[in-house]
Amino acid sequence: MKQQLRHDEKTQTVILCCGSKRCPELKIEDDQVTITDDYGQKINISKEQASLIPQALEMLSDKPTDA
């Protein structure tokens, strides 16, 4: 299934939907981003740290893997 973002206005979260029963969620409160994984575990990072995630993903994707 195609991955998509879904905004839940009631809980003010964005759900990273992949078609499974549980999907990760993001929520912003004050200057903190809370990421809740598929199993209910949470991490909190600053909005500034969260803004670096696309760049980090790019760096990791471009990194050659050891075979």
What is the per-residue pLDDT for 2? 72
The residue type at 62: D
Indicate yes or no: pTM above 0.85: no
What integer is the mean pLDDT of 13-37? 91
Average confidence (pLDDT) over 30-34: 96
Q: Quick check: 35 and 53 in contact, CB under 8 A?
A: no
Distance separating alpha carbons of residues 60 and 52, to the nearest angstrom: 12
Separation of first and last alpha carbons in the chain: 29
- Quick check: helix, strand or coil at residue 39? coil
Domain boundaries, the chain: 4-62
What type of residue is 23?
C
Number of H helices, E strands in the chain: 2, 5
Percent of the chain with pLDDT over 70: 91
